């Protein structure tokens, strides 16, 4: 693992990138060009900008181990990157690329099919997009036949990571998506991450972990949940930034609305929610990087419950602070609102996650006074 990049450095680099043109610009372009089937609308993101982020910032290679050509950074750095992307609602395939990189840490490129190695190299360079989902099928002699469901950026993904039901059991499979594969777009309320069902035939594929391998499965699930929670933390911060910006310029009754206590309280509560959620994500990521997966899992359940519920609340507050304009199609508030509700149920409702955290022993995390 390299120590050359710290989480704060990654945050600052991405913050500077998104300062000039945030992810919302691409989301709007994809939304408005959907009926015309523009390249941006089909992909759901700007492929050229994704390639630039991969080449200049190394965004796609942050998680992949060094033997695969990546940077091999820890989860603390990865959650920082996802958080910044979430604040801007950047629609590129960041999370999928990072999850592929994490899943490759137990694989040897020297003993992996050359087509898969080439596809991973292309993904790290930003030339193709990765997606993740789930599905079922058969995997014989390194070739997969089956269907993958609700694959992120599935309309253009060239590489797919999925939890697949195989005859021999559930497995985490990485598959190359051959040209000409059947791609069927899935309509969803979330406009930032388009999905599609993929029908794969004779696709080069490799099993990265079997479902019976509990340590590997726990590690994969924990990392995925933490990345999702970090994205939700970023969403809270994005809502807060828009709330504050609007409160600074909108006037009512001859005064800026930011001078009213009701608005100030909304903003303050959202800032506290972001801080509490971020702290749980950071604690989970640090435990994960120390190989304390059981401890990380407890933090992860709490982090996901907190971040999911607080992102929903923040998106509500954004609409309320923006008033009438916040309810319109032209305003960005509904993009945060849609995103928050689309990803909140993943892995379970917040109440269920907190209950599972208690069952997993999260109360042991409380240190005596």
- Residues 103-127 have a mean pLDDT of 95
Per-residue pLDDT at 330 exceeds 60 = yes
Q: What is the tens place of the pLDDT at every residue in 241-254?
A: 999 999 998 878 88
Same fold, 7-210 and 214-365: no
pLDDT value at residue 22? 77
Would you state the pLDDT for residue 80? Answer: 96
For the chain, the structural domain boundaries read 7-210, 214-365
Find the length of the chain. Answer: 369
Widest distance between CA atoms in the chain: 73
Q: What is the pLDDT of residues 357-369, one digit of tens each?
A: 999 888 887 766 5
Task: Determine the average pLDDT of the residues in 304-319.
Answer: 96
d(CA 362, CA 27): 38
β-pair type (169-176, 195-210): antiparallel
Average pLDDT over residues 288-300: 93
How would DSSP label each residue in 31-93?
Answer: HHTTTTT-HHHHHSS-HHHHHHIIIII-GGGSSS-GGGTS----HHHHHHHHHHHHHTT--SS
Per-residue pLDDT at 298 = 93
| Domain 214-365: CATH superfamily, name plus number | Butyryl-CoA Dehydrogenase, subunit A, domain 3 (1.20.140.10)
Q: What is the pLDDT of residues 151-168, one digit of tens each?
A: 999 999 999 999 999 999
7-210: CATH, from 3.40.50.920, 1.10.260.40, 1.10.540.10, 2.60.420.10: 1.10.540.10
């Amino acid at each position: 693992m390299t120590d050359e990049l710290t989480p704060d450095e990654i945050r600052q680099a991405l913050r500077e990138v998104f300062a000039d043109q945030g992810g919302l610009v691409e989301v709007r372009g994809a939304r408005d060009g959907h009926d015309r089937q523009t390249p941006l609308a089909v992909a759901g993101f700007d492929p050229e900008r994704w390639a630039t982020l991969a080449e200049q910032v190394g965004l796609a290679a942050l998680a992949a181990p060094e033997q695969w050509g990546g940077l091999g950074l820890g989860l603390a750095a990865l959650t920082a990157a996802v958080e910044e992307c979430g604040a801007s609602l950047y629609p590129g395939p960041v999370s999928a690329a990072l999850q592929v990189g994490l899943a490759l840490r137990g694989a040897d490129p020297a003993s992996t099919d050359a087509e898969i190695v080439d596809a991973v190299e292309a993904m790290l360079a930003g030339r193709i997009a990765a997606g993740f989902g789930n599905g079922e099928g058969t995997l014989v002699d390194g070739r997969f036949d089956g269907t993958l469901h609700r694959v992120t950026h599935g309309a253009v993904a060239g590489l797919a990571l999925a939890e697949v039901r195989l005859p021999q059991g559930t497995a985490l499979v990485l598959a190359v998506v051959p040209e000409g594969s059947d791609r069927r777009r899935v309509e969803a309320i979330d406009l930032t991450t388009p999905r599609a069902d993929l029908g794969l035939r004779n696709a080069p594929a490799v099993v990265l972990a079997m479902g019976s391998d509990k340590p590997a499965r726990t590690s994969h699930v924990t990392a995925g949940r933490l990345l999702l929670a970090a994205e939700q933390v970023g969403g809270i911060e994005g809502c807060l930034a828009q709330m504050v910006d609007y409160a600074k310029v909108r006037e009512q009754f001859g005064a800026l609305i930011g001078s009213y206590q009701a608005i100030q309280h909304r903003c303050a509560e959202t800032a506290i929610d972001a801080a509490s959620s971020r702290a749980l994500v950071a604690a989970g990521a640090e435990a994960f990087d120390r190989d304390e997966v059981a401890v990380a899992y407890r933090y992860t359940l709490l982090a996901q419950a907190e971040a999911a519920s607080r992102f929903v609340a923040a998106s509500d507050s954004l609409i309320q602070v923006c008033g009438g304009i916040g309810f319109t199609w032209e305003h960005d508030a509904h993009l945060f609102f849609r995103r928050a509700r689309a990803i909140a149920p993943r892995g379970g409702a917040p109440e269920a996650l907190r209950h599972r955290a208690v069952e997993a022993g999260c109360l042991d995390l409380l240190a005596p006074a």
